[in-house]
Amino acid sequence: EVQLVESGGGLVQPGGSLRLSCAASGFTFSNYWMTWVRQAPGKGLEWVAIIKQDGSENYYVDSVKGRFTISRDNAKNSLYLQMNSLRAEDTAVYYCARDQASRIYLIGWFDPWGQGTLVTVSS
């Protein structure tokens, strides 16, 4: 069974840091682009970052550039999101998701998704 399990969320003060993890199983992790998408409480979905199979390319939404870093460890079948200089507006459930198919190019839609991990930025 293809599965993605996020962890690492929690309560952090403004200006603080947090590292999210996403453990993948049931598929060849190293063959897929992977992404992070977040959802503020009661709001819609917002794409955050994406990373190529070998980690050689990564891209971010403007609002997190310079603060967040996406990375992966293919040997551990794991995806990460290092979040620094956190702000109240970063409060959200963070989902990791897999590109739909294993192509060298980005397909651009995502299936499956993990269950999400909640990040709360508050003093």
Partner 1 sequence: EIVMTQSPATLSVSPGERATLSCRASQSVSSNLAWYQQKPGQAPRLLIYRASIRATGISARFSGSGSGTEFTLTISSLQSEDFAVYYCQQYNNWPPALTFGGGTKVEIK
Is the Cα dihedral 29, 49, 73, 104 positive or negative? positive
Per-residue x/- track, 59-98, partner 1 (CB under 8 A): x-xx--------------------------------x---
Closest CA to 81 of 38, 21, 15, 35: 21
CB of 57 to partner 1, least distance (A): 8
Cβ closest to partner 1, residue 16 vs residue 108: 108
Residue 27 is a binding residue for partner 1 (CB under 8 A):
no
Query: How far apart are alpha carbons 68 and 66 in whole angstroms?
Result: 6
Whether the Cβ atoms of residue 93 and residue 113 lie closer than 8 Å to each other: no
Whether the Cβ atoms of residue 48 and residue 20 lie closer than 8 Å to each other: no
CB of 31 to partner 1, least distance (A): 17
Residues in touch with partner 1 (CB under 8 A): 35, 37, 44-47, 50, 59, 61-62, 95, 100, 106-116
